[in-house]
Structure 1
Amino acid sequence: MRIHQCHFCSGPIYPGHGIMFVRNDAKEFRFCRSKCHKNFKMKRNPRKLKWTKAFRKSAGKEMVVDTTLTFSARRHVPTRYSRDLVAKTLTAMQRVEEIRARRERVFYRNRMAGNKQREREANRKLVAENQHLLPRDQRTDIVAVAAAEKDKEADVVSEDGMMDIESGDEEEEVQQPELVKVKVKVSKRRQKVGAGDGMDVD
C-alpha cells in the first residue's frame, strides 16, 4: 500500500482518496481534498497559508533537519527476504520512533519557552503601566518586585564592584507611592435634601 503526499499541504493521501491533476507536460499533482486543489488552481503559495506544512517548516514551527527522517525514506532497491533482517528492521523502526518522539518533545519545549518568556514580559509591562488601578497594598509589592529585578540587573551590569548611582536614584523614585486625584460630583438635588434634613442638637 503506497501513501502519497499532497502537493499543496503535504498531508497523507491514502489509496482511493484524493484528486490527481495531470498537466500538459505529463507531471502529476496529487491533492488530499478539494480545498488544496482549488488553492493550487488559484496559484496560491503554500508557504503563506498557515494550515500547510510548508508554512510550518518555513516559520520554524516544525523540525526541518532530522536524521531520523532519512531512515523512513522509500528505497526502491529489492532485497532478498531473511527473517533476521526483518527482525532487525522492526527493532530499528521502534528505536527510530523513540528518538524522533524525544527530539520532537525537546524541540517543542524549546520553542514554547520563548513564548512563555515573551508573555511574562508583556504581563509585567501591563501591570507596570496600570499600577494606579491596583489597591495600595498590592502596589507596593509590585514596586518591590520591580526594584529587586532592577537590583539584579544592576549587579550583572556592574561586574567590577562599582555602585551605580543612577540606578539607586531610580529605585528611590519608583518606591514612592503614586497619588491619584479623584473628583467627586454631587448632584444639586442631593445637596438640597441634605441641607433640609439636618437635626438640631442642643
Structure 2
Amino acid sequence: MRVDSCFFCGRPAWPSKGITFNRNDGKSFRFCRSKCHKNFKMKRNPRKLKWTKAYRKNAGKEMVVDSTLQFAARRNVPVRYNRELIQKTLKAMERISEIRARRERVFYKKRMAGKRARELASARKLVANNEHLLPRLRGTEKRRLAELAAEQGLDVAELERQELENLRTSKKSKAFGAEVKRLRVRTDGGVEEISERVGGYMDEDQDDDDDDDDDGMDTD
C-alpha cells in the first residue's frame, strides 16, 4: 500500500482519502484534504503558511538532514517478490521508525533549550517598560504596613510585595481612588450601606451585584 505525501502541506494522503488533481499537462497532485486543494488553487506559497511541513523545515523546526529520512524517499524500481525480503523490510521499517522518533525527541529538546529563560527575560522587559500600569499602594497602606512591620519586626519591603501580589490576584483593587460609603434602598424596602471607589477601579463583585439588583427590580 503506497501512502503519498500531500503536495501542499506534506501530510500523508492515505488511499481512497483526499483529492487528486490531474493537470492538463499530465502531472498529478495529491492533496490530503480540501483545505490544501483550495490553497493550491489560490496559488499560495506553502513556505509562507505556518501549518505546512515546508514552513517548519525552513524555520528549523523539523529534521531535514538525517539518515533515517532517506528511507522514506520514493523509489520507482521494480523488485521481484521475495517473502524473506518483505519480512526483513517490515522489521527494518519498525526499527527505523523507532530510531527516527528518538532522534526527533532529541532534536526537539535541543531546539527548545533555553526557551524558558528567553520567556522570563521577555516578561521582565515587558514589566520594566510598563511599570506605570502596575497597581501601586496608597500612602495609608504603606503607613499601615510600616507600623505592622515595626510591631512584629518584619521587613517592610517584603510586606509591600505580598500586598501587591494580593492586589494583582484578587478581584478587589485598592490601588487607586478613594472609597465613598453610600446608602442603597433595596427593592424589598430595606437599606444597605455600600462602598464605592471614586476615581479608580470598582469592585467586580460590586458590579455584579448592581447588575443583579437592576435585573430584579420591579418595573410596574
SS in 1 for 2:93: helix
Report the alpha carbon displacement of residue 127 of structure 1 after superposing the two structures with TM. Answer: 5.2
1:81 aligned partner:
82
Q: Per the alignment, do residues 139 and 111 of structure 1 end up closer, same or farther by CA in structure 2, a change over 3 Å counting?
A: farther
Q: Which has the higher contact order (CA 8 A, sep 6+)?
A: 1
1:113 aligned partner:
113
How big is the alpha-carbon RMSD for the aligned residues of Structure 1 and Structure 2?
A: 3.3
Report the alpha carbon displacement of residue 12 of structure 1 after superposing the two structures with TM. Answer: 1.4
Q: Distance in 2 between matches of 1:90 and 1:17?
A: 24
Question: Any residues of structure 2 matched to 1:22-101 within 5 Å, and which?
Answer: 22-75=22-75, 76-83=77-84, 85-101=85-101
Q: Deviations over 1:13-37 (max 9, x none)?
A: 1121222222221111121222111
Q: Per the alignment, do residues 185 and 94 of structure 1 end up closer, same or farther by CA in structure 2, a change over 3 Å counting?
A: closer
Between structures 1 and 2, the one with greater helix share: 1
Q: Per the alignment, do residues 128 and 92 of structure 1 end up closer, same or farther by CA in structure 2, a change over 3 Å counting?
A: same
The reply on whether 1:137 has 2:158 as its aligned counterpart is yes
Q: Distance in 1 between matches of 2:57 and 2:72?
A: 19
Are 2:136 and 2:176, in contact at CA under 8 Å, matched by a contact in 1? no
Q: Distance in 2 between matches of 1:126 and 1:48?
A: 29
Q: Distance in 1 between matches of 2:7 and 2:158?
A: 60
1:16 aligned partner:
16
SS in 2 for 1:29: strand
Q: Deviations over 1:145-198 (max 9, x none)?
A: xxxxxxxxxxxxxxxxxxxxxxxxxxxxxxxxxxxxx998799xxxxxxxxxxx
The gaps in structure 1 that reach 5 residues or longer are 141-181, 188-202
Are 2:18 and 2:32, in contact at CA under 8 Å, matched by a contact in 1? yes
Q: Does 97-106 or 71-80 show the bigger shift? A: 71-80
Report the alpha carbon displacement of residue 44 of structure 1 after superposing the two structures with TM. Answer: 0.6
Between structures 1 and 2, the one with greater strand share: 2
Q: Distance in 2 between matches of 1:43 and 1:53?
A: 17
SS in 1 for 2:24: coil
Q: Per the alignment, do residues 42 and 184 of structure 1 end up closer, same or farther by CA in structure 2, a change over 3 Å counting?
A: closer
1:158 aligned partner:
none
Q: Distance in 2 between matches of 1:121 and 1:22?
A: 51
Q: Distance in 1 between matches of 2:26 and 2:136?
A: 69
Identity rate of aligned residues, in percent?
59
Q: Distance in 1 between matches of 2:107 and 2:87?
A: 30
Q: Per the alignment, do residues 138 and 23 of structure 1 end up closer, same or farther by CA in structure 2, a change over 3 Å counting?
A: farther
The gaps in structure 2 that reach 5 residues or longer are 138-156, 162-174, 181-220
SS in 2 for 1:102: helix
Q: Distance in 1 between matches of 2:160 and 2:124?
A: 13
Letter in 2 for 1:120: L
Q: Distance in 2 between matches of 1:9 and 1:93?
A: 23
Q: Distance in 2 between matches of 1:8 and 1:105?
A: 25
SS in 1 for 2:10: coil
Q: Does 125-134 or 7-16 show the bigger shift? A: 125-134
